[in-house]
Amino acid sequence: MKISVLDWYTVTINGDIPTTQLEELGDVKIIPLTTHEETAANIGDADIVLCNKVIITKEIIDACPNIKYIGIFATGFNNVDIAYAAEKGITVCNAGQYSTNSVAQQIFAYILDRFNRIRDYDIAVKNGEWESSPTFSYFPVPTYELSGKTLSIVGFGSIGRRVAEIGSAFGMNIVVNTRTQPKDCPYEVTDLYTAVEKADVLTFHCPLTDKTAGMINSELISHMKSSAILINTSRGGVVNEADLAQALNSEKIAAVYIDVLEKEPMSPQTPLKGAKNCVITPHTAWAPFETRQRLVDIVCENVRAWQKGSPQNKVN
Protein backbone atom coordinates (compact mmCIF):
# COMPACT_ATOMS: atom_id res chain seq x y z
CA MET A 1 0.00 0.00 0.00
CA LYS A 2 1.10 3.55 -0.70
CA ILE A 3 1.39 5.81 2.34
CA SER A 4 1.81 9.59 2.42
CA VAL A 5 3.02 11.18 5.67
CA LEU A 6 2.16 14.85 5.16
CA ASP A 7 3.81 16.76 8.04
CA TRP A 8 6.50 14.61 9.63
CA TYR A 9 8.41 17.65 10.92
CA THR A 10 5.58 18.32 13.39
CA VAL A 11 6.42 15.04 15.11
CA THR A 12 10.23 14.88 15.10
CA ILE A 13 13.07 17.15 16.21
CA ASN A 14 16.17 16.83 14.02
CA GLY A 15 15.24 13.25 13.16
CA ASP A 16 15.12 12.00 16.76
CA ILE A 17 12.16 9.72 15.94
CA PRO A 18 13.12 7.11 13.31
CA THR A 19 10.85 6.37 10.36
CA THR A 20 11.58 2.63 10.50
CA GLN A 21 8.10 1.65 11.72
CA LEU A 22 6.43 3.70 9.03
CA GLU A 23 8.54 2.11 6.32
CA GLU A 24 7.46 -1.35 7.49
CA LEU A 25 3.80 -0.49 6.81
CA GLY A 26 4.08 -0.06 3.05
CA ASP A 27 5.51 2.15 0.31
CA VAL A 28 6.01 5.32 2.36
CA LYS A 29 6.53 8.89 1.19
CA ILE A 30 7.76 11.10 4.05
CA ILE A 31 6.97 14.78 3.49
CA PRO A 32 8.37 17.29 6.02
CA LEU A 33 5.52 19.83 5.82
CA THR A 34 2.52 20.34 3.55
CA THR A 35 0.68 23.56 2.76
CA HIS A 36 -3.03 23.46 1.98
CA GLU A 37 -2.28 24.12 -1.68
CA GLU A 38 0.07 21.13 -1.77
CA THR A 39 -2.18 18.66 0.07
CA ALA A 40 -3.85 16.90 -2.86
CA ALA A 41 -0.60 16.63 -4.83
CA ASN A 42 1.32 15.32 -1.82
CA ILE A 43 -1.33 12.67 -1.16
CA GLY A 44 -1.44 11.69 -4.82
CA ASP A 45 -2.61 8.11 -5.26
CA ALA A 46 -1.83 7.06 -1.68
CA ASP A 47 -4.11 4.56 0.04
CA ILE A 48 -3.11 5.73 3.52
CA VAL A 49 -2.69 9.33 4.67
CA LEU A 50 -0.95 10.11 7.96
CA CYS A 51 -0.91 13.68 9.24
CA ASN A 52 -0.91 15.86 12.32
CA LYS A 53 -2.44 19.23 11.47
CA VAL A 54 -2.89 19.14 7.68
CA ILE A 55 -6.53 19.89 6.84
CA ILE A 56 -8.29 17.12 4.92
CA THR A 57 -11.46 18.60 3.46
CA LYS A 58 -14.22 17.17 1.29
CA GLU A 59 -12.47 18.71 -1.71
CA ILE A 60 -9.17 17.00 -0.84
CA ILE A 61 -10.92 13.66 -0.39
CA ASP A 62 -12.65 14.02 -3.75
CA ALA A 63 -9.34 14.95 -5.41
CA CYS A 64 -7.64 11.84 -3.98
CA PRO A 65 -10.03 8.93 -4.65
CA ASN A 66 -7.52 6.25 -3.58
CA ILE A 67 -7.66 7.25 0.09
CA LYS A 68 -8.90 4.40 2.24
CA TYR A 69 -7.48 5.34 5.63
CA ILE A 70 -6.51 8.58 7.44
CA GLY A 71 -4.38 8.33 10.56
CA ILE A 72 -3.89 11.35 12.80
CA PHE A 73 -0.79 12.08 14.90
CA ALA A 74 -2.98 13.68 17.57
CA THR A 75 -5.97 13.18 19.84
CA GLY A 76 -7.99 15.90 18.15
CA PHE A 77 -9.38 15.24 14.67
CA ASN A 78 -11.10 18.51 13.77
CA ASN A 79 -8.70 18.92 10.82
CA VAL A 80 -10.45 16.08 8.97
CA ASP A 81 -13.96 16.12 7.52
CA ILE A 82 -14.98 13.08 9.53
CA ALA A 83 -18.53 12.84 8.23
CA TYR A 84 -17.55 12.99 4.58
CA ALA A 85 -14.74 10.49 5.12
CA ALA A 86 -17.29 8.08 6.61
CA GLU A 87 -19.60 8.68 3.67
CA LYS A 88 -16.76 7.72 1.31
CA GLY A 89 -15.90 4.61 3.34
CA ILE A 90 -12.61 6.06 4.64
CA THR A 91 -11.55 4.97 8.11
CA VAL A 92 -10.18 7.75 10.33
CA CYS A 93 -8.21 6.88 13.48
CA ASN A 94 -6.63 9.12 16.08
CA ALA A 95 -4.08 8.59 18.85
CA GLY A 96 -5.81 9.07 22.16
CA GLN A 97 -4.18 9.29 25.59
CA TYR A 98 -0.61 9.26 24.33
CA SER A 99 0.22 12.56 26.11
CA THR A 100 -1.43 12.09 29.50
CA ASN A 101 1.79 12.00 31.51
CA SER A 102 3.58 14.75 29.63
CA VAL A 103 0.70 17.24 29.80
CA ALA A 104 0.15 16.55 33.49
CA GLN A 105 3.88 17.04 34.05
CA GLN A 106 3.75 20.43 32.32
CA ILE A 107 0.78 21.48 34.45
CA PHE A 108 2.91 21.02 37.55
CA ALA A 109 5.90 22.71 35.95
CA TYR A 110 3.62 25.75 35.65
CA ILE A 111 2.25 25.41 39.18
CA LEU A 112 5.68 25.00 40.76
CA ASP A 113 7.03 27.89 38.71
CA ARG A 114 4.40 30.13 40.25
CA PHE A 115 4.47 28.83 43.81
CA ASN A 116 8.25 28.40 44.17
CA ARG A 117 9.37 31.33 41.95
CA ILE A 118 12.55 29.55 40.86
CA ARG A 119 13.07 31.83 37.85
CA ASP A 120 12.75 34.99 39.97
CA TYR A 121 15.28 33.79 42.52
CA ASP A 122 17.72 32.58 39.89
CA ILE A 123 17.65 36.07 38.33
CA ALA A 124 18.06 37.70 41.75
CA VAL A 125 21.10 35.57 42.57
CA LYS A 126 22.71 36.25 39.20
CA ASN A 127 22.10 39.97 39.70
CA GLY A 128 24.09 39.84 42.96
CA GLU A 129 21.17 40.40 45.31
CA TRP A 130 22.00 37.47 47.59
CA GLU A 131 25.60 38.67 47.89
CA SER A 132 24.40 41.92 49.45
CA SER A 133 21.76 40.29 51.69
CA PRO A 134 22.08 41.11 55.42
CA THR A 135 20.75 37.64 56.26
CA PHE A 136 21.77 34.13 55.21
CA SER A 137 18.42 33.52 53.50
CA TYR A 138 17.13 35.98 50.93
CA PHE A 139 13.42 35.76 50.12
CA PRO A 140 11.83 39.06 49.06
CA VAL A 141 9.44 37.27 46.67
CA PRO A 142 6.78 35.28 48.58
CA THR A 143 6.55 31.54 47.95
CA TYR A 144 3.79 29.18 49.03
CA GLU A 145 3.16 25.52 49.80
CA LEU A 146 0.84 23.58 47.52
CA SER A 147 -0.49 21.53 50.42
CA GLY A 148 -3.92 22.79 51.40
CA LYS A 149 -4.43 24.82 48.21
CA THR A 150 -7.42 24.06 46.00
CA LEU A 151 -6.80 22.70 42.51
CA SER A 152 -9.93 22.95 40.37
CA ILE A 153 -9.94 20.81 37.23
CA VAL A 154 -12.37 21.49 34.39
CA GLY A 155 -12.62 18.31 32.32
CA PHE A 156 -11.93 14.90 33.81
CA GLY A 157 -10.60 12.72 31.03
CA SER A 158 -7.31 10.88 31.29
CA ILE A 159 -5.25 14.08 31.66
CA GLY A 160 -7.62 15.63 34.19
CA ARG A 161 -7.53 12.45 36.28
CA ARG A 162 -3.72 12.34 36.19
CA VAL A 163 -3.50 16.00 37.22
CA ALA A 164 -5.84 15.24 40.12
CA GLU A 165 -3.66 12.32 41.24
CA ILE A 166 -0.51 14.43 41.25
CA GLY A 167 -2.22 17.34 42.97
CA SER A 168 -3.55 15.00 45.63
CA ALA A 169 -0.01 13.68 46.20
CA PHE A 170 1.06 17.28 46.90
CA GLY A 171 -1.71 17.53 49.49
CA MET A 172 -3.92 19.81 47.39
CA ASN A 173 -7.69 19.85 47.71
CA ILE A 174 -9.10 18.59 44.41
CA VAL A 175 -12.32 19.96 42.92
CA VAL A 176 -13.63 18.60 39.63
CA ASN A 177 -16.06 19.97 37.07
CA THR A 178 -17.03 17.62 34.25
CA ARG A 179 -19.95 17.04 31.89
CA THR A 180 -20.82 13.65 33.35
CA GLN A 181 -20.56 12.33 36.88
CA PRO A 182 -17.41 10.17 37.00
CA LYS A 183 -17.70 6.73 38.60
CA ASP A 184 -16.05 6.18 41.98
CA CYS A 185 -14.53 9.67 41.97
CA PRO A 186 -12.65 10.34 45.24
CA TYR A 187 -12.77 14.11 44.72
CA GLU A 188 -15.41 16.79 45.09
CA VAL A 189 -17.44 17.12 41.88
CA THR A 190 -19.31 20.37 41.45
CA ASP A 191 -20.69 22.90 38.98
CA LEU A 192 -18.37 25.12 36.94
CA TYR A 193 -18.72 28.35 38.88
CA THR A 194 -18.30 26.69 42.26
CA ALA A 195 -15.09 25.06 40.98
CA VAL A 196 -13.90 28.43 39.66
CA GLU A 197 -14.69 30.27 42.91
CA LYS A 198 -12.85 27.73 45.06
CA ALA A 199 -9.73 27.51 42.90
CA ASP A 200 -6.26 28.62 43.89
CA VAL A 201 -5.24 26.91 40.66
CA LEU A 202 -7.78 26.54 37.84
CA THR A 203 -6.76 24.21 35.00
CA PHE A 204 -8.70 23.34 31.85
CA HIS A 205 -8.71 19.89 30.18
CA CYS A 206 -11.86 20.00 28.09
CA PRO A 207 -12.39 19.56 24.33
CA LEU A 208 -13.18 22.50 22.07
CA THR A 209 -16.91 22.37 21.29
CA ASP A 210 -19.68 24.86 20.63
CA LYS A 211 -20.29 24.91 24.40
CA THR A 212 -16.67 25.37 25.49
CA ALA A 213 -15.58 27.88 22.81
CA GLY A 214 -14.65 31.13 24.56
CA MET A 215 -15.74 29.82 27.97
CA ILE A 216 -12.71 31.42 29.64
CA ASN A 217 -14.07 34.94 29.42
CA SER A 218 -14.66 37.99 31.60
CA GLU A 219 -17.77 36.45 33.17
CA LEU A 220 -15.96 33.29 34.27
CA ILE A 221 -12.87 35.22 35.39
CA SER A 222 -15.05 37.48 37.57
CA HIS A 223 -15.73 34.43 39.75
CA MET A 224 -12.02 33.72 40.37
CA LYS A 225 -9.97 34.77 43.39
CA SER A 226 -7.60 37.63 42.60
CA SER A 227 -4.80 35.44 43.97
CA ALA A 228 -5.63 32.47 41.71
CA ILE A 229 -3.75 31.30 38.63
CA LEU A 230 -5.31 29.92 35.47
CA ILE A 231 -3.81 27.23 33.23
CA ASN A 232 -4.95 26.16 29.77
CA THR A 233 -3.39 23.25 27.91
CA SER A 234 -6.60 22.11 26.23
CA ARG A 235 -7.41 24.13 23.09
CA GLY A 236 -6.73 27.77 22.35
CA GLY A 237 -10.33 28.39 21.29
CA VAL A 238 -11.53 27.75 24.85
CA VAL A 239 -10.12 31.19 25.75
CA ASN A 240 -11.43 34.64 24.89
CA GLU A 241 -7.91 36.05 24.63
CA ALA A 242 -8.91 39.72 24.82
CA ASP A 243 -10.90 39.12 28.02
CA LEU A 244 -8.07 37.16 29.58
CA ALA A 245 -5.47 39.80 28.72
CA GLN A 246 -7.69 42.51 30.20
CA ALA A 247 -8.09 40.51 33.40
CA LEU A 248 -4.33 40.10 33.74
CA ASN A 249 -3.53 43.71 33.01
CA SER A 250 -6.11 44.89 35.55
CA GLU A 251 -4.79 42.32 38.09
CA LYS A 252 -8.14 40.58 38.47
CA ILE A 253 -6.20 37.29 38.63
CA ALA A 254 -2.61 36.63 39.63
CA ALA A 255 -1.16 34.79 36.64
CA VAL A 256 -1.90 32.71 33.56
CA TYR A 257 0.04 29.82 32.04
CA ILE A 258 -1.01 28.69 28.57
CA ASP A 259 0.35 26.24 26.02
CA VAL A 260 -2.23 26.78 23.28
CA LEU A 261 -3.57 29.81 21.45
CA GLU A 262 -6.53 30.40 19.16
CA LYS A 263 -4.13 30.99 16.26
CA GLU A 264 -1.00 28.82 15.97
CA PRO A 265 1.77 29.61 15.26
CA MET A 266 1.28 32.65 17.48
CA SER A 267 0.17 35.86 15.80
CA PRO A 268 2.09 39.06 16.65
CA GLN A 269 -1.33 40.56 17.42
CA THR A 270 -2.19 38.00 20.08
CA PRO A 271 -3.61 40.04 23.01
CA LEU A 272 -1.86 37.81 25.55
CA LYS A 273 1.63 38.40 24.15
CA GLY A 274 2.31 41.46 26.30
CA ALA A 275 -0.12 40.79 29.13
CA LYS A 276 1.10 40.98 32.72
CA ASN A 277 2.09 37.71 34.41
CA CYS A 278 1.25 35.63 31.36
CA VAL A 279 3.57 32.71 30.62
CA ILE A 280 3.11 31.26 27.13
CA THR A 281 4.76 28.07 25.92
CA PRO A 282 4.57 27.22 22.19
CA HIS A 283 2.30 24.13 22.32
CA THR A 284 4.98 21.96 23.93
CA ALA A 285 3.12 20.02 26.64
CA TRP A 286 2.74 17.02 24.30
CA ALA A 287 6.31 17.14 22.97
CA PRO A 288 8.73 15.24 25.26
CA PHE A 289 10.72 12.62 23.36
CA GLU A 290 9.03 9.64 25.02
CA THR A 291 5.60 11.11 24.32
CA ARG A 292 6.27 11.63 20.63
CA GLN A 293 7.71 8.12 20.33
CA ARG A 294 4.56 6.75 21.97
CA LEU A 295 2.47 8.78 19.53
CA VAL A 296 4.23 7.27 16.50
CA ASP A 297 3.89 3.81 18.04
CA ILE A 298 0.12 4.26 18.42
CA VAL A 299 -0.34 5.64 14.89
CA CYS A 300 1.60 2.73 13.40
CA GLU A 301 -0.28 0.19 15.50
CA ASN A 302 -3.55 1.78 14.35
CA VAL A 303 -2.50 1.25 10.72
CA ARG A 304 -1.50 -2.35 11.38
CA ALA A 305 -4.84 -3.05 13.10
CA TRP A 306 -6.74 -1.56 10.16
CA GLN A 307 -4.69 -3.57 7.67
CA LYS A 308 -5.68 -6.70 9.59
CA GLY A 309 -9.35 -5.75 9.36
CA SER A 310 -9.79 -4.73 13.01
CA PRO A 311 -9.44 -0.92 13.20
CA GLN A 312 -8.82 0.63 16.61
CA ASN A 313 -9.18 4.22 17.85
CA LYS A 314 -11.63 4.83 15.02
CA VAL A 315 -13.32 8.24 15.25
CA ASN A 316 -15.82 7.99 12.38
Predicted confidence at residue 254, as pLDDT, reads 98
Pick the catalytic residue from 114, 235, 292, 294. 235
Pick the catalytic residue from 24, 145, 165, 264. 264
Q: Is the peptide bond before 265 cis (omega within 30 degrees of 0)?
A: yes
CATH numbers and ranges of domains, the chain: 2-97+289-307 (3.40.50.720), 100-280 (3.40.50.720)
Ordered per-residue pLDDT tens for the chain, 316 residues: 999 999 999 999 999 999 999 999 999 999 999 999 999 999 999 999 999 999 999 999 999 999 999 999 999 898 999 999 999 999 999 998 999 999 999 999 999 999 999 999 999 999 999 999 999 999 999 999 999 999 999 999 999 999 999 999 999 999 999 998 898 999 999 999 999 999 999 999 999 999 999 999 999 999 999 999 999 999 999 999 999 999 999 999 999 999 999 999 999 999 999 999 999 999 999 999 999 999 999 999 999 999 999 999 999 9
Alpha helices in 143-277 (DSSP H): 158-169, 192-198, 218-221, 241-249
pTM of the model: 0.94
Count Cβ atoms below 10 Å from residue 211 Cβ, excluding itself.
10
The verdict on whether 235 is a catalytic residue reads yes
The verdict on whether 205 is a catalytic residue reads no
> Is 279 exposed, middle or buried (CB count within 10 Å of its CB: 0-12, 13-18, 19+)?
middle
The verdict on whether 36 is a catalytic residue reads no
Residue among 248, 195, 244 nearest 215 (CA): 244
d(CA 236, CA 215): 11
Predicted confidence at residue 181, as pLDDT, reads 87
Pick the catalytic residue from 188, 197, 223, 283. 283
**CA separation, residue 267 to residues 246, 271, 273, 308 (Å):** 18, 9, 9, 43
Q: Where are the beta strands (DSSP E) in 94-141?
A: none
Q: Are 199 and 175 in contact (CB under 8 A)?
A: yes
Amino acid at 151: L
